[in-house]
């Protein structure tokens, strides 16, 4: 009985260590302006490494609300590379924006495009 308890504790400890080590901390977010879905604008790569800006961007993306599936041909302004994947972003002068995962670009999510978010991504209001 004692050996089973010890083995159980060892397995639980290893599992906890494995779970903690898989949590990534983002050190850089890449943002690229786009010409179309597959082509990036030259010389527009922006690397965000400020921890405060990264937190604002990640929080905005995590709070995204599913909008639904839409057949879309409108080219997004940006492509983001975050630790959990790549996303397209459609944004304008309003307080909302839309994102879609690059791998499922017809499933849309609405975001709250606050001034802090726009500053974090260096949005110039095109």
Statement: residue 24 has pLDDT above 80: no
Q: What is the mean pLDDT of the chain?
A: 84
Domain layout of the chain by residue ranges: 26-120
Average pLDDT rounded to a whole number, residues 30-56: 94
Q: Is the pTM of this model over 0.85?
A: no
55 bridge partner residues:
none
Q: What is the pLDDT of residue 22?
A: 44
- CA-CA-CA-CA torsion for 78, 22, 104, 96, nearest 10 degrees? -50
CB 59 within 8 A of CB 51: no
Tokens of 3: 């050996």
Segment 58-87, tens digit of pLDDT? 999 999 999 888 888 889 999 999 988 999
Average pLDDT rounded to a whole number, residues 34-51: 94
| Separation between Cα atoms, residue 24 and residue 33, nearest integer Å | 25
């Amino acid at each position: 009985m004692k050996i089973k308890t010890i083995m159980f504790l060892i397995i639980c400890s290893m599992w906890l260590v494995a779970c903690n080590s898989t949590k990534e901390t983002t050190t850089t977010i890449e943002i690229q302006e786009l010409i179309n879905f597959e082509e990036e604008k030259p010389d527009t790569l922006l690397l965000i490494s400020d921890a405060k800006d990264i937190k604002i961007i990640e929080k905005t993306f995590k709070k995204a609300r599913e909008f639904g599936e839409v057949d879309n041909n409108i080219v997004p302004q940006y492509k983001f590379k975050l630790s959990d994947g790549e996303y397209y972003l459609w944004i304008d002068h309003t307080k909302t924006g839309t994102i879609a995962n690059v791998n499922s670009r017809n499933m849309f999510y609405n975001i709250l495009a606050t001034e802090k978010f726009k500053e974090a991504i260096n949005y110039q209001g095109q």
